Amino acid sequence: MSPSAMPLEFTTGSCDSRPRTLIEGIAARIPSRIKLATKLVAFHAKAPIHQLTVENILGGMRGAPSIVWEISETDSSGVKYHGRTLRQLEEDLPKWGNSKQLSPEAMLWYLYTASVPTQAELKQFAADLVSRCELPKDVTDFLDNLPVNLSPIVHMNMGLTVLAQHSKLMKALAKGARKEELWKFALEDALDATGRIPTLVARIHSNIYRQGCDRDATLDLSADLAQNFAIRMGRSCDINFVELTRLAWVLHQDHGANVSAHTMRLVSSALTDPYSTLSAGLIAGSGTLHAMAIHNSVDFNKNMTSALGPNPTDQDIENYVLKCIASGQILPGYGHAVLRVVDPRLEWIYRFVADHPAPLPESGVHPVLLELIQRANMIVPDLLRVHLPKIKNPAPNVDALSGSTMHTYGLDVDFILPFMACGRAMGFLAQSVWDKALGLPIERPLSITMDGLLAKLQSNA
Ligand SMILES: CC(C)(COP(=O)(O)OP(=O)(O)OC[C@H]1O[C@@H](n2cnc3c(N)ncnc32)[C@H](O)[C@@H]1OP(=O)(O)O)[C@@H](O)C(=O)NCCC(=O)NCCS
C-alpha cells in the first residue's frame, strides 16, 4: 500500500458552500480505501513483498515493512503525510488566524481525510475540539488530589487511566456495536481525547507547579487548542509560547510506526479503549532511546553549557563531545533508526528560534543554550562519523533542539514529554480511527527462537 503506488485523492473542500464536518471528510474517503484493501486481499494476498532476513528479525524488525500505516510513510529521507512533505504542507494547509506556524488542527484534518481543509472547515473543526476540552469531574477530582511530588508523566498516565471509563467506544462495544460502525465511536473518542489531553496536561502543570492556578480558567471557544492550552497554562498573552505549542504539536504528531506509535497501535488493535492506549504510548515514550531523548537532550545540552561556559570555541565543543563519545555515553538528539539525513523537522525549530526572540534569562535558562546547541549540531556529526563509525546516521534528530527550545521558552524539563505527548496522541488517534474503518485485525506476529531460526536456515540450505 505504498502511497506512490496508489492514486492520491486530494480535494480542497466540499462542492457545496457548507463546510464539511470531519466525519463527512472521513466517510467520503472510506469506500475507496476499503476497495483498495479488498483488492489487495482478493488478488495479492499471497504475493511476497519483502524477503524477511535474519538481520530483519534480530534487528528489532528494522527494514521489514509489516505495519499498515494510513496517514504517513517514513523512509530514510523523512516523513511523507499522504504523500506530501512537511514543506509542501506548509504551503498547502491553512494557518490559524495570524499564526505563522503550521496549525495542529489543519494537520490533523489532513491526516484524517487526506484532504486540505478550507478556512471554514478548520474553524469549525477547531471549535468542535475546543468544545470537548473540559475534563469530567471525576477526572479533575482525581488529578487535583494526586501527590504533587509525583512526576508529570505519572500524573498523566494516571489521568488517562481514569479517563478510560469515559470511552464511547467501550460503551458501544459493551452494547454490541457492529464492527463496521466502530470507527464512528472511535472517532468520537479520538475527538474527545484530542480536546481533553491538552487540558489534562495543563491541569497537571497547574497542580504540580502553580498551586492550581488557572486550572479552571474560562476557555475561549473561538480560539484554537494551542491558545486554550496557553489559557490553562496561565500564558494566554505569551504569543511565542502559543506559536511554539502549535509548532511542537505538528512536528510531533506523526512519525510512522515508531516505538510509541507502534505500541499504541498494538494495544488498540486488541480493542483497548483509546485513553489506556495513549497511556501505553506514553510509557513507551519514556524510554531513553525514544521520546525521553527530548528530555535527556536538554540535560545533555545544559551540562555542556555549564561545563564550557558562555563563550566556548569550536575546539572546546569538540573536546567535550569527544569525551562523551569516549565514555560510551549515548548522545541524545543524534542518530535515527530510519532517517539517513538530518531530521527534516529540525528546520522548523531552527526557523522558530531565529524568528522569535528568546525570553530573558530570568526564565532560569542559560541564554547561550540554543546558540551553543546549533553550533554543536554542526560539529557533532563529523565526530560521530569518525569516532563512532557503527552509528548509521550521525546527524541530529528533532530532539537535538526541540526540547531545549521548549525549555528556553518556559517549559520545565520534566514537563516536556507530556507537552510533546499531546501532539503524538492527536496524530495517533487519527491512525487509530482508520484502523477501525478498515477493520484491521488484532496484531499478532509469530515469535521465533534463535534455535528455530537456525533450523529454518538449515532446512532451506
Ligand atoms: C535513535 C536510535 C535509538 C537509533 O538506534 P539504532 O537504529 O540502533 O541506530 P544505529 O543502527 O545507528 O546504531 C548503531 C550503534 O550506534 C550506537 N548509537 C546510535 N546513536 C547513538 C548516539 N546518539 N550516541 C551514541 N551511540 C549511538 C547505537 O547504540 C548502536 O550501538 P550498538 O551496536 O553497540 O548497540 C539511536 O541513534 C540513539 O540512541 N540516539 C540517541 C537517542 C535519540 O536521540 N533518540 C530519539 C530519536 S528520534
- pLDDT single digits (tens) 391-432: 999 999 999 999 999 999 999 999 999 999 999 999 999 999
**Total number of domains in the chain:** 2
Structural domain includes residue 56:
no
| CB of 381 closer than 6 angstroms to any ligand 1 atom | no
Probe ligand 1: pick from 392, 399, 416, max atoms within 8 Å of CB? 392
The distance between the two most distant Cα atoms of the chain, rounded to a whole number of Å, is: 70
Give residue 14's pLDDT.
47
CB contact at 8 A, 407 and 344: no
CB contact at 8 A, 49 and 42: no
Are 333 and 229 in a shared domain? no
Structural domain includes residue 458:
no
> Could you confirm whether 252 is annotated as catalytic?
no
Give residue 357's pLDDT.
81
Quick one: which atom of ligand 1 is closest to the CA of 325?
25
Give residue 11's pLDDT.
41
Of the three residues 408, 428, 452, the one that is the final residue of a domain is 408
| CB of 394 closer than 6 angstroms to any ligand 1 atom | no
Structural domain includes residue 55:
no
**d(C-alpha 190, C-alpha 22), whole Å:** 12
Are 314 and 404 in a shared domain? yes
**d(C-alpha 332, C-alpha 396), whole Å:** 9
Grid coordinates of 138: 471525576
Task: Out of 336, 343, 356, 407, pick the active-site residue.
Answer: 336
Structural domain includes residue 51:
no
Question: From atom 44 of ligand 1, which residue's Cα is the shortest distance away?
Answer: 333
pTM attached to this predicted model? 0.94
> Could you confirm whether 299 is annotated as catalytic?
no
Structural domain includes residue 456:
no
- pLDDT single digits (tens) 129-152: 999 999 999 999 999 999 999 999
Give residue 95's pLDDT.
98
| CB of 390 closer than 6 angstroms to any ligand 1 atom | yes
Question: From atom 5 of ligand 1, which residue's Cα is the shortest distance away?
Answer: 337
Give the residues of the chain that fall short of pLDDT 50.
Answer: 1-14
Structural domain includes residue 200:
yes
| CB of 340 closer than 6 angstroms to any ligand 1 atom | no
Give residue 41's pLDDT.
96
CB contact at 8 A, 78 and 339: yes
Are 316 and 237 in a shared domain? no
Structural domain includes residue 167:
yes
**From ligand 1's centre to the CA of 400, what distance in Å?**
13
Are 283 and 168 in a shared domain? yes
Are 336 and 315 in a shared domain? yes
> Could you confirm whether 407 is annotated as catalytic?
no
CATH code: domain of residue 246: 1.10.580.10
Are 88 and 225 in a shared domain? yes
Structural domain includes residue 185:
yes
Are 255 and 391 in a shared domain? no
Q: What's the CA dihedral at 410, 413, 414, 420 to 10 degrees?
A: 70
Are 143 and 176 in a shared domain? yes
- pLDDT single digits (tens) 167-215: 999 999 999 999 999 999 999 999 999 999 999 999 999 999 999 999 9
CATH code: domain of residue 371: 1.10.230.10
Are 276 and 296 in a shared domain? no
Give residue 58's pLDDT.
97
Are 262 and 387 in a shared domain? no
Give residue 358's pLDDT.
79
**From ligand 1's centre to the CA of 337, what distance in Å?**
7
Give residue 4's pLDDT.
33
Query: How is 420-438 classified by DSSP, letter by letter?
Result: HHHHHHHHHHHHHHHHHHT
| CB of 330 closer than 6 angstroms to any ligand 1 atom | yes
Domain that includes residue 203, residue range: 1-42+68-287+413-443
Are 429 and 397 in a shared domain? no
Quick one: which atom of ligand 1 is closest to the CA of 255?
48
